Amino acid sequence: MDISSATATTPAPSPASAEAPSESSTMISSDFDTFLKMLTVQMENQDPLNPIESTDFAVQLATFSGVEQQVQTNDLLAVIQAQLGAGGMSEYASWVGMEVKAVGSAAFDDSPITFYPDPASGSQRTMVVVRDVSTGADVDYFEIPVSDEPVQWAGVDENGDPFPPGSYTFHLQSIADNLTFSEEQIAVFSEVQELRLVDGETRLILGGGGDIAASDVEAVRRPEPPAV
């Protein structure tokens, strides 16, 4: 990875609807019909001299009833969980079009990107690696002060030429005694373009192309007006 001059300056689809599952209900109906047929055959073929006790029939019916109720309870819990998930997603509906701060990729369109480093304790130096999400290649590498102050990446190479528009991630290397002992991805602000409910969890689809859990958001703000 080439070390270039520092190009940064410091301080600067729709909500899922909850529908009751029908497969298990159909299965219960089918199993109950089968159970009745088996019970009928059992009664027809019982020993006349040693008939089945009525209590045995009662036990079998009670057992089947218990299983049926358990399956129906599970169906109800699934419906409730889906409704809670959709309700939770509605809490974040106002975030669409807003910018959220989180560890993730940022969309570069020839405008500077601000990132928010968090140096590891004991850092003597900190270096930033800029990575192109589309290729996985490291495209920039520069040193910044050991500080949690926001840093702005201009998005240009050592010749002053802008990098291609796309998604980029920023990674902070914490160094002590000339050894890199930590590398962590850095938080950035990205625009929320969409909300999705995935396995009961609300996820935010970001302008940088990635997605994050709503619980990973560190801050929310209105989009900054474009530079004039």
Rounded Cα distance, 139 and 159, in Å: 13
pLDDT digits (tens, 9 = 90+) for 144-191: 999 999 999 999 999 999 999 999 999 999 999 999 999 999 999 999
pLDDT digits (tens, 9 = 90+) for 104-122: 999 999 999 999 999 999 9
Rounded Cα distance, 45 and 58, in Å: 18
Q: What is the pTM of this model?
A: 0.61
- For the chain, what is the mean pLDDT? 80
Rounded Cα distance, 61 and 89, in Å: 42
How much of the chain is in helix, strand and coil states, percent to nearest 5?
Answer: 30, 35, 40
Fold of domain 96-221: Immunoglobulin-like (2.60.40)
What is the pLDDT at residue 13?
Answer: 42
> Which residues does 154 contact at the CB level (< 8 Å), separation at least 6?
7, 8, 9, 112
Residue 216 DSSP symbol: G
Kind plus residue range of the DSSP H or E element containing 23: helix 23-44
pLDDT digits (tens, 9 = 90+) for 6-41: 444 444 444 444 444 455 556 555 666 777 777 777
Rounded Cα distance, 202 and 89, in Å: 5
